[in-house]
Structure 1
Amino acid sequence: MENENIILFSSDDWGWKTSKYQLAIRFSRQNKVLFISSIGFRTPTVSRQDLSRIFNKLKSFFKGIRRIDENLYVLTPLVIPLRKNRIIKWLNLLFLRTQVRWARSRLGMKKPYIFVFAQNWYELVKKMPRKRLINYCVDEHSGFKVADPESFKELNQRMCQQSDIVLCSSNLLTENYKKFNPNTYHISHGVNYTLFSKAVFGTDLETAPEVAGLKAPVLGFWGHISYEWVDADLLKYLAENRPNWTIVLIGRNSMAADEFASHGNILLIGEKNFEELPSFCKKIDVH
């Protein structure tokens, strides 16, 4: 694609180095891209993590349209986080339409290609003028503990049926969604080869000090460490039954602080810059 307008309705906030972020960066090299941050899946709690996210979203909202690069822009929309009230739902849809319409007008995006990464954008995008609507499925959101399963299944079916193309990151999702739209295809996640090949071929790359002294084998995971994506019971089972293995977890931790406290061979490293990951990868035997 070249010289096109593209809007990505994300399931993540800007800055997380997920597939949405990577696509936005790459599309913007030859196209004008508007990345719209997530509107969330659930009503927030009064936890420190949720309050911090609300504060950050408000800061981003008041910045308006942020220009990240020459052809890349980010919008953080504002919604009222009360999702079960019909009046609030109607107001949120009105707010979203107004904000997105304003952003499109400012950027001159009349009929863009629209990529959608979550079903909760359905009411907003279903009648939006566009060249193509692409439903990009990377997770089965109906399986999330914070989501209303039946509601998400229904919205997902509608989104698939409304889309011109459905792209899925796994064979299972592809087979499940083909019954809703025959133009459903499997596209596996890629990897930043230039960056991560340094772990194998980068002679000047030093191993991260946090893992340099670990004995093999070392199993590694980087990403969001939450109960939605990480099987805590499986990791504890492996740690108990393979005490000579070291399991390294890198990333934001949304689990209980003491979830792995009794397992000395499970290490929580915390969040690291994306560019630092090859230095950890160099030590890890199984990813």
Structure 2
Amino acid sequence: MIKDKNMICFAPADWRWYGSCKRLMSIFSHHNKILYINHISISTPSIKETGTKVFIKRLLRKLKTLSRPFRKENENLYSYSPLIFPGYHGVIKKWNQLLLRFQIQFLQKILHLSNPVVWIENPVGITVAKNVNPELILYYRTDKFESYRELRDRQDILSLEEKLTHDAAIILCVSSKLYEEKLRFRKKNVYYIPHGVDFTHFNNAIKDPFVPEEIKHIRHPVVGYFGSLSNSNDEALIHYCATERPEISFVLIGTVLGEFKLIRDLPNVYFLGYKNYTVLPDYAKNFDVCIMFWKVTEWIEHCNPVKTMEYLAMGKPVVSVAIDDICKNFKGIISIAKNCEEFLAKIEEELGNDSPEKQKKRIAFVENETWEARAEVISRVMEKNWRRAVTNR
């Protein structure tokens, strides 16, 4: 594991969100000092695009973060929410780059972060990366940001992608599609390292008999999902399954960022809202089948859902829409469906054929795929790059 390094991380989400970036930085912070830069928007907020309710939710959430922009999260890790204008285009882009550069350099100085490793998951980070005298620039590519539906000017993000591809010493891709795509532009120091899993957190929950009251009395069988609920989710898919099988309860856990008018009032569909990550497994262990139900857009095709292995760590059967990485890496472990009829048929099949042996197989499949294991692999990649740099001097 890398030790005694300074790191500046440009994250795609705020520290309070339990994404891959937070998990890895938490591990690296055991032996390294880290400045974690909270989400910097690559899109301009729009009521027209998101709807009034979602717009207000996002605004309030961001204002809450900005009320305490600088925080000490643990002994070696600090989070910061930059004070910049919303959006990333035109004149706003130029002003934001200046503001961001000033704030990052100021914090770098007071925290004594000399020659940091600059870890970029949000492409905007490359605009200031070279201004902090980095020892190494690493691009952790987790999403196809240029396919983000709310982008006003995709060319801006494509330009950042091009610069990152050129300037980053190392590129890590979490999905095979992202990896294969990046290899078309460069061959050197590009790696495929999929997401990990907080195995202990999810697996320990199934050994504890406690079940929250909110879900305890929902009729079984329970088909469940946790994660953000937005326009990226395939509402029509749930509508079909829930109306065809009213005896099945569909439980959806997560912040609701869409209208969901089709299913909101169905008697067997339950929206339980946001649940803190610390208690999430207590809810999910009550699912009989776990699902992943997105519209298969270019954005989704390039993703590697973190929740996949979280479901499996609890031994749960999983039914998913056809995503490239799921089809390639979880064959025989996860049921894949290409349309509504198949999706419902797979749910019924999993409900009828689950067994303790299958549950053990799922758990064993992900037991060693932890975030700690991923951090070790990434550390070896970084150390290899440093050794090569020393040799070439």
Indicate whether the TM-score tops 0.5: yes
Query: In the alignment, is the contact (CA less than 8 A) between 1:161 and 1:180 conserved in 2?
Result: no
Q: CA RMSD in A?
A: 2.1
Which runs of structure 2 are paired with 1:95-110 in the superposition (5 Å)? 95-110=99-114
Query: In the alignment, is the contact (CA less than 8 A) between 1:10 and 1:118 conserved in 2?
Result: yes
Query: In the alignment, is the contact (CA less than 8 A) between 1:206 and 1:279 conserved in 2?
Result: yes
Query: In the alignment, is the contact (CA less than 8 A) between 1:157 and 1:180 conserved in 2?
Result: no
Which of 184, 192, 197 is 2:198 aligned to? 192
Q: What amino acid maps onto 1:161 in structure 2?
A: H
What CA deviation, in whole Å up to 9, does each residue of 1:96-127 have, x standing for no partner? 00000011111111111111112222322255
Give the corresponding residue for 1:58. 66
Cα distance in structure 1, aligned partners of 2:143 and 2:134: 24
Is residue 133 of structure 2 the alignment partner of residue 125 of structure 1?
no
**2:108 counterpart SS class:** helix
Question: Aligned in 2, Cα 1:72/1:223: closer, same or farther, shift over 3 Å?
Answer: same
Q: TM-score, length-normalised on structure 1?
A: 0.89
Which of 178, 182, 192 is 1:173 aligned to? 178
Is residue 5 of structure 2 the alignment partner of residue 16 of structure 1?
no
**2:146 counterpart SS class:** helix
Bigger CA radius of gyration:
2
Q: Matched residue pairs, number?
A: 280
Cα distance in structure 1, aligned partners of 2:209 and 2:32: 34
Give the corresponding residue for 1:6. 7
Question: Aligned in 2, Cα 1:132/1:259: closer, same or farther, shift over 3 Å?
Answer: farther
After superposing the two structures, state which structure 1 stretch, 68-77 or 127-136, moved more: 127-136
How far has the Cα of 1:259 moved from its partner? 4.9
Which runs of structure 2 are paired with 1:1-287 in the superposition (5 Å)? 1-45=2-46, 47-61=55-69, 65-86=70-91, 88-126=92-130, 128-147=132-151, 148-182=153-187, 183-200=189-206, 202=207, 204-228=208-232, 230-256=233-259, 258-287=261-290
After superposing the two structures, state which structure 1 stretch, 208-217 or 176-185, moved more: 208-217
Unaligned runs of 5+ in 2: 48-54, 291-393
Q: What amino acid maps onto 2:277 in structure 1?
A: F
Query: In the alignment, is the contact (CA less than 8 A) between 2:9 and 2:34 conserved in 1?
Result: yes
What CA deviation, in whole Å up to 9, does each residue of 1:161-183 have, x standing for no partner? 22111112211111111222322
Query: In the alignment, is the contact (CA less than 8 A) between 1:137 and 1:168 conserved in 2?
Result: yes
What CA deviation, in whole Å up to 9, does each residue of 1:201-258 have, x standing for no partner? x2x3412222223344423222221124x22233323323443433222111111163
How far has the Cα of 1:50 moved from its partner? 3.5
Query: In the alignment, is the contact (CA less than 8 A) between 2:117 and 2:134 conserved in 1?
Result: yes
Query: In the alignment, is the contact (CA less than 8 A) between 2:239 and 2:262 conserved in 1?
Result: no
Q: What amino acid maps onto 1:43 in structure 2?
A: T
Cα distance in structure 2, aligned partners of 1:166 and 1:70: 28
Cα distance in structure 1, aligned partners of 2:165 and 2:262: 37
Higher-helix-fraction structure: 2
How far has the Cα of 1:188 moved from its partner? 1.7
Unaligned runs of 5+ in 1: none
Cα distance in structure 2, aligned partners of 1:110 and 1:80: 27
Cα distance in structure 2, aligned partners of 1:273 and 1:126: 36
Query: In the alignment, is the contact (CA less than 8 A) between 2:226 and 2:284 conserved in 1?
Result: no
Aligned residues with identical type, % of pairs: 30
Cα distance in structure 2, aligned partners of 1:285 and 1:132: 45
How far has the Cα of 1:82 moved from its partner? 4.5
Cα distance in structure 2, aligned partners of 1:166 and 1:83: 23
Query: In the alignment, is the contact (CA less than 8 A) between 2:146 and 2:154 conserved in 1?
Result: yes
Question: Aligned in 2, Cα 1:82/1:212: closer, same or farther, shift over 3 Å?
Answer: closer
Cα distance in structure 2, aligned partners of 1:154 and 1:243: 49
What CA deviation, in whole Å up to 9, does each residue of 1:132-178 have, x standing for no partner? 21111121122221013343334223312221111122111111112
**1:55 counterpart SS class:** helix
After superposing the two structures, state which structure 1 stretch, 260-269 or 107-116, moved more: 260-269
After superposing the two structures, state which structure 1 stretch, 273-282 or 71-80, moved more: 273-282
Question: Aligned in 2, Cα 1:208/1:262: closer, same or farther, shift over 3 Å?
Answer: same
Question: Aligned in 2, Cα 1:225/1:94: closer, same or farther, shift over 3 Å?
Answer: same
Q: What amino acid maps onto 2:266 in structure 1?
A: H
